[in-house]
Structure 1
Amino acid sequence: MRTDTGTGLLPAAEKLRDLAAESASGADRNRRLGRDVVDAMGAAGFARHFVARPWGGTEGSFTELTQAVMTVGEGCAATAWCASLSAYSARCAAHLPEEGHRAIWGSSPDVFIATALVPGGKATKEGDDWLLSGRWGYVSGVDFADWVLVCAQAAGQDGPPELRFFALPRGAYRVDETWDSVGMRATGSHTVTISDVVVPRHLSFARADMLTGRSSWSEVPSHHVPFQAVAGLTFIAPVAGAGTGALHAAAAGVTPKRRTPTTETRLVRASGRIDAARQLVEQNAAVLDRRDFTPELMARNERNATFSAELLQEAAELLIRTAGTVGLGETHALQRIWRDITSATSHVALQYDTSARKNYGAVLLGPDNS
């Protein structure tokens, strides 16, 4: 079901899908999104989707964003991945104090932020501020980001160390081009290096705030969502869109000569998996918009994301077998989408053992008291 809340994101996503599809092959080859695609992504409103209205944001819904990301993913998975992360990175940065909001969005709500969720590096107190150093890998979208948001172990003057996020503008960090994956090449998920940079206190917040969905500086509902409930959605929505793109690419390559019962069966089986994955992804977004943050539903969201990744992997394999050697040609869109789906579903947030197993296992079996 299409849900447009008046922000204009969905019709803009359809235009971005078409533009990104035209340049997807070149972006894959060049390992970066074209400037026209990046500009169109910003104009569409992805970066401002969760930004508060006083700063020019649209305070959009999770359902609308999910549908828009899946739409873009039908044309280019890497573009959809960056669009999704630009929105969710802004949601994370909303945990900053009000002065931090002003520093990032004071001049524009369309600022691109690239986030490193995995802790790396260390920060030490420098008066009221922080001195930060370290390296963070797999920072998607950093090629064109205006800011980065990185997580580090912070040693305070009093008490034990804690994990904190730090926001830094372009120019305060170095980008090392280390991303060499066979899939999702155009996401530019490179490494960020920071060397003894002073970060003002208003550009830092405790990681615990993000995990619990606690924000002392914002009343926007989307800024008060536990990370467990939302994490998988960030990464699975682009892949669900890519699944639909793969189905269209595979079906378009079926000539009358290749239209056999086996081919039709594989297409039908793949389509069922893709539709099921999209339904589960949309179910996750609906939970967030209803604010049903029960342990059971948050665990189900994790299960949905990981299971959808499995379904989409299976669908991509079926479609590659359907297309045969033709589909593996360098100029065929299907092989690129297959590589993108394979790479994207390897993300740690979409693995059973690191995400859904423990929490949803407790829903099914009760807590493990061994």
Structure 2
Amino acid sequence: MTTIAADQPSVATALAGLPRVVDLLAARAEEHDRDATFPYQGIEAVHEAGLLTLTVAQRYGGAGGTLADTVRVLAQLGRGDASVAVVTAFTLLQHAEQARVANWPPAGYRRLLTESRRGPALVNTLRAEPGSQSGEPPATVARRDGDGWLLSGRKTYCAGAEALAWMAVTARTDEPVPRVGTFLVRGESEGIEIDPTWDQLGLRASASHDVVLDAVRVPVELALGLTGPKSGASSTVAQVSGAVPPGELTRAWHDLALSAVAVGVARSAQDWLVRFLKQRTPANLTEPLGSLPRYRCALGEIEAQLIGAEELVGGLAPRVDRADPEAVARTGPAHLLATRAAVSAVQQAVSLTGNPGLSRRHPLERYLRDVLSSRVHFAPDEAVLDRAGRAALERGTRA
């Protein structure tokens, strides 16, 4: 198996370079947000620091970053530019899943690692479809054609769409008894069109456009995990995590990684608020707003919420790394609580600052838009709460 560059930085070295990368991202975040342009320079900086391949397994020559490392990195990147952090997150999640279950065929992953030596090689899983409901089979169809498959359909909310080196596309086959699986597609493949539909309130630089596939050819060896409607997990997938199914670990990584981004955004909002409260002295006062108990208590409320969110995400991450079943089961509610705390913190910061907080001259309104828009990457609250409620009922039945 080809490895990534021999000089791939260690986790410690990559983390040491984080502050410089965050500063660079923050310097251009407003520009990319205003123009809705993809932050290629920011992604390049993340790559050069070794952060984009942080979770490549050591057996492939990578740093072998853990989920605990990942949430730390993404929280910091979220402080600089939430769009860059989100796009980075999905690539880190792909490498982490490969480290756990090795579901990519050796030749395909070798090619990805080779591309990662040359420059940023972004990857994302494309699942969402316009109008699709949870639990429904994908509308995207794979039709067998000779020694490969022809893939046709439309995927939506595809973060980094215009810059993806690889797309892991979920689709169903057109066989008499359809199977569902993941098809690895090169971003430059013939038949792919990027439809620039992403015009959201926030995360405007994430290029989360629709991807339209029109008879895109996929070699047969790049069709992964094809299973029928009543099949369980593929027997070829190594369940290296003991009692925790690989799919549950994948979900847990997603929950905590994206939560970390939202909390990082909220921390930037708090940083701006602190500067504002230290500097703002209204005409009817002789001291800055930060000297007033009301504002200090409000700031303390924000601090308490963010401490809780950070402790929740940061505390669960190393337990998920150990494949603790209880921790894995808690990451759904954890992401719900953490993102709610992040949204509430930024909303309170805006409320405290009044008109300045809503002015596009300042970044606080962008932080609010970004943290609100981060919800697009999570399961609906109702689905998370229903799952948690079912688990509670099952525990009560066993008691």
Same fold (TM over 0.5): yes
Counterpart-to-counterpart distance in 2, 1:274 and 1:203? 42
Q: Is the 8 A contact 2:171 2:180 kept in 1?
A: yes
RMSD: 2.9
The alpha-carbon distance between structure 1 residues 47 and 6, as it changes in their structure 2 partners (threshold 3 A), is closer
Aligned to 1:290: 322
Select which of 247, 256, 270 maps to 2:302.
Answer: 270
Amino acid at match of 1:37: G
Count of residues paired in the alignment: 359
Q: Give the match's secondary structure for 2:307.
A: helix
Q: Is the 8 A contact 2:74 2:264 kept in 1?
A: yes
Between stretches 239-248 and 35-44, larger displacement belongs to: 35-44
Say whether 1:105 aligns with 2:113: yes
Say whether 1:138 aligns with 2:168: no
Between stretches 97-106 and 300-309, larger displacement belongs to: 97-106
Aligned to 1:150: 169
Q: Which has the larger radius of gyration?
A: 2
| CA offsets 1:125-156 (integer angstroms, 9 cap, x no match) | 22442111111011101222212221111234
CA shift for structure 1 position 168: 1.4
Between stretches 101-110 and 15-24, larger displacement belongs to: 101-110
CA shift for structure 1 position 297: 2.9
CA shift for structure 1 position 342: 0.9
Say whether 1:15 aligns with 2:20: yes
Between stretches 33-42 and 326-335, larger displacement belongs to: 33-42
Select which of 63, 78, 82 maps to 2:68.
Answer: 63
Counterpart-to-counterpart distance in 1, 2:293 and 2:207? 41
Amino acid at match of 1:98: P
Counterpart-to-counterpart distance in 2, 1:244 and 1:175? 33
Give the % identical residues: 24
CA shift for structure 1 position 244: 0.6
TM-score normalised according to structure 1 size: 0.87
CA shift for structure 1 position 253: 1.3
Counterpart-to-counterpart distance in 1, 2:92 and 2:110? 17
The alpha-carbon distance between structure 1 residues 185 and 167, as it changes in their structure 2 partners (threshold 3 A), is same
CA shift for structure 1 position 219: 7.2
Say whether 1:188 aligns with 2:198: no
The alpha-carbon distance between structure 1 residues 116 and 202, as it changes in their structure 2 partners (threshold 3 A), is same
Counterpart-to-counterpart distance in 2, 1:45 and 1:148? 21
Q: Is the 8 A contact 1:125 1:131 kept in 2?
A: yes
Q: Which runs of 5+ in 1 are unaligned?
A: none
Q: Give the match's secondary structure for 1:241.
A: helix
> Which residues in structure 2 correspond to 1:225-240 (within 5 Å)?
226=248, 227-240=250-263
Amino acid at match of 1:237: A
Counterpart-to-counterpart distance in 2, 1:245 and 1:253? 12
Say whether 1:243 aligns with 2:266: yes
Amino acid at match of 1:279: E
Amino acid at match of 1:261: P
Amino acid at match of 1:134: G
Counterpart-to-counterpart distance in 2, 1:340 and 1:251? 19
Between stretches 263-272 and 329-338, larger displacement belongs to: 263-272
Aligned to 1:319: 349
CA shift for structure 1 position 214: 7.7
